[in-house]
Chains A and B, each alone.
Chain A
Amino acid sequence: MGKSHLDAPRIGPAAQAFRGERDCRAPRGFAVADVSLLPQLLVNGLVIGSILALAGIGLTLVYGILKLANFAHADLSTMGAFLAFLFAVPLTGALDAWAAAVGGALLALALADLFLLHKLTDGERWIAAALGAPLLVLGIGVAVGGRGGPGSSNLVLLIATLLSIVVSIGALLAMDLLVWKPLRRKGATVLSLVIVSVGVSLVLRNALQIAFGTGNRSFDRPTEVSPTVIGVQISYAQQAAFVVTALVLVAVHLFLSRTRTGKAMRAMADNLELARVSGIDVNREVLHVWVMTGVLTALAGIFLALVANNIMNVNMGLGLVLPLFASVILGGIGSPYGAMAGGLIVGVAMKTATLWVGSSYEVAAALVVLIAVLLLRPQGLFGGRVA
């Protein structure tokens, strides 16, 4: 630990492997694999798998309930990461007080309308709340957390994460209102939803590219030496990703199994018509699904950036599309628990595959898993439905 922090960030072979910098291929093709790397790759796989699990829950619910194979889902994670970056950059001057004031007013309007006025539609209320809440939190956050460098302190990062989540939710609700809801009303088929989602992904990714450029951006975190646990390097970000994901997954489990809303979601994913007949307000629950999706995708994107040495890129979601769909289909469409298990399996499969093939081909493992599931057990491990 005698090194000064001015040295180049030290990353171990595993971290290099994780970032695709280290070629883990055995020198002689497929014959010999360096098995000593296995524990490290397992850990990396579990970390990336837990991120896949986070993002996959939203995807599987949306896929199951709205019949929407959302090709823009991975780009939503990218958006979450960049929003956190945006909010982590400190605001200047008295803007925080203004932000708090305007945000508070908007939020108050939404709440007042909900309980007293009843002048606005549901959607308008959501938009007011979605605009107001992040401004309020931002104002308070800057007042409390101070203005360091972007993401320099854990507190700033935490607030930025919260803000990113809130804005992601708002964006998803706005998207539902503008695009998915009219299409649902029209009775659009699976196919047209897929095509529209490709369009949404194009718009999202390119808008992010205009806003943040094509290059890498990073949370300005202090470089730390990854601690070694029984010969395996696990960075603090990886530990945090693992712990937070575990907590979130437990929370999601409790939410889905204990609360009325969660049960309604599961019922809808299981059989939409039956759920509707048994008195579930489907339109309302759809909004809840989007809220949950917003929370989880934003978290997934932020952790994706954190475990990749704080680096984020506009195109980082692209590589997630296939693994995400693979894990969701593996777990069974519409099954959140399936998505968790599927994410972990696909993540581990992708990372352990780098024992034999170059790390640029790790997506091949996801493809193989996907094809195998589709051929052998198209309903997935946890028995989603096959139309």
Chain B
Amino acid sequence: MKLPSLRIPPIVEPTFEFVMRLVERVFGARVARVVRRPFKVFGGREGREWRTVVLTVLAVFVVVGGIAAPNAVSGGVLMNYLVGLAFTMSVFALLALGLQLQFGHGGILNLGLIAFAGLAAYTMGIVWKHAGQGLADAITASPALQGTVLLVIGLAGAAFSTPIVGLAVQRLRPHAPTRAKRIVVVGAAGLAGLGAASLFLPLDGMRARDAVIVLGLLAGIAAAAGLALLFAVPAIRLRTDYLAIVTLGAAELLEAFYRNEQWLTGGTQGIVNLYNPITEHALTNDWWQNFVAWVSPDLKAAPAAQLLIALLALVYFYILFEALVRSPWGRVLRAVREDDAVAAALGKDVNRFRLQALMLGGVAIGAAGILIALRPSNIYPGYFDRALTFSTFVALVVGGLANNKGVIAGAAIVLVALPELARNLRFLEAYGIQNVVGPGQGIAAGLMLILFMMYRPQGLVGRKEELQYG
């Protein structure tokens, strides 16, 4: 029995071709060519994949919003609901994007991915809980401390802007002399660093608190990268299945740590009343308030700001990772995934590439973890449990492996549509079946994983030729 492969029926392309043929008939071939030109971007394989992703996301939001619409009291309520869903989707897409680099491109089956998110969030939370306002006051009081903090923030700003500036320069002036490009990149990154630091001037009151959270965030991301190093010591040389077991166990251990070390992490009560700079600024910034009111009078300023930040983070890491996997580094990484012996024979340091993929992916996952914690401004161990690892995995497989676009569609389906649709299982409670929402979602996710693996292993937009399994 050979398993048939499911095809997504082509709808968009024939329609587009049909319209273009009409245009050609009516206005002539020249006009048709001009009209076609902007649509070239959406042509070919890339375009097809983007269309699938965009259509999936739209379909998810239309269906979920349509189901919620009759219950919403007003358009504003519905809008805020959808903004919340979009935030969830962006954050989980970021989570899955990190996993995509680790597993989809690097072949590292990281079943402990939630450890990265949890560690980053908890590091930030611990910095706030144990240093917090005290550190903010100390910063306000001491000019030397202010200088140090501004230096750290400036350096971080420069470091995070460097790859984006570099990519932009390479895209706009690919043939300029390397030295000139280098000077431009360093200069622009320096400016970005100065800009980032100047945002925090003068460093007192609210800005000092912001600075503490930013320091915590940097510490969290560093911790996520450090965790990758720690994982790598025993695990990086191992076979995929061993690696999965070790990472799963390590994540479990970390979760036990969050739950039990009350003095540090607050135990099961978690860390509450985290200072959330996004909310604070959204509620005090007139410009943002006006902008949100202009979009819609009902829209709430804080969730919209969180959505904006989450989207920016997703776009940042997407651009970065997309450039990475298209670069020679990405090609070597895929070679390592396909056959590490061959890559090693060609003189590549296999474990180094794996470690880099694990660290970079871990940074994205850590950033997602921080966003997960910042939305409700508290951190509980339950946010970062095994269930989230598994659903992120399902999202990755459903979206498609080895294609960064897939994570967006996967997150929309598995982490937005499934939970929202599962809520409608409540009607079963009338028949005496209690507690059906969460498990119903789990069963649907599990079935989705099994069925996709069996009948469409490349997922929605995955690369069939890059499949790691037959």
Contacts and interface: CB of A to CB of B under 8 A. Distances in A.
Interface stretch (A2-10, A114-122, A276-284, A318-326): A318-326
Contact of A214 (B256, B435, B468): B435
B260 A358 contact: yes
Interface stretch (A83-91, A150-158, A252-260, A365-373): A365-373
Chain A binding site: helix, strand, loop or mixed by DSSP?
helix
Q: Please indicate which of the listed interface residues B250, B434, B439, B448 has the most CB atoms of chain A within 10 Å of its own CB.
A: B439
A202 B435 contact: no
Contacts of B390: 198, 202
B469 interface: yes
A360 interface: yes
A384 B130 CA distance: 49
A272 interface: no
Contacts of A387: 239
Given A194-B109, A322-B252, A358-B260, A371 B397 contact: no
Contacts of A367: 246, 249-250, 253
Interface string A187-217: 1111110111011111111110110011000
A321 B389 CA distance: 15
- Contact residues on A (Cβ < 8 Å of other chain), bracket: 35 or more
Contacts of A386: 239
Contacts of A318: 386
A375 interface: yes
A199 B453 contact: yes
Contact of A198 (B2, B239, B449): B449
Interface residues of B, number: 51
Interface string B436-467: 10111111011111100110010000000000
Contacts of B177: none
A196 B453 contact: yes
B98 to A, nearest CB: 17
A72 to B, nearest CB: 9
B244 interface: yes
Nearest to A361: B256
A363 B445 CA distance: 27
Contacts of A190: 239-241
A295 to B, nearest CB: 25
A182 interface: yes
Contact of A207 (B257, B438, B439): B439
A287 interface: no
Contacts of A189: 468-470
Given A199-B447, A213-B435, A363 B245 contact: no
B180 interface: no
A194 B244 contact: yes
Given A202-B390, A360-B259, A374-B242, A196 B454 contact: yes
Interface in B390-407: 390, 393-394, 397
A363 B259 CA distance: 14
Interface in B210-250: 234-235, 238-242, 244-246, 248-250
A360 B446 contact: no
A364 interface: yes
B3 interface: yes
B446 A200 contact: yes
Interface string B174-185: 000000000000
Interface string A346-387: 000000000000101101101100110011001000000011
Contacts of B439: 206-207, 209-210
Given A186-B470, A191-B240, A361-B253, A199 B450 contact: yes
Nearest to B111: A198
A207 B446 CA distance: 11
Interface in A252-308: none
A364 B441 CA distance: 30
B470 A199 contact: no
A364 B255 CA distance: 11
A194 B242 CA distance: 10
A119 to B, nearest CB: 20
B295 interface: no
Given A203-B443, A367-B250, 13 more contacts: A179-B454, A185-B2, A186-B454, A194-B240, A196-B453, A206-B441, A206-B446, A209-B439, A209-B442, A210-B436, A213-B434, A329-B242, A386-B239
Shortest Cβ-Cβ A-B pairs, 3 listed: A202-B446, A192-B469, A199-B449
Interface of A: 69, 71, 179, 182-183, 185-192, 194-196, 198-207, 209-210, 213-214, 318, 321-322, 325-326, 329, 358, 360-361, 363-364, 366-367, 370-371, 374-375, 378, 386-387
5 contacts: A195-B109, A202-B449, A203-B443, A358-B260, A361-B256
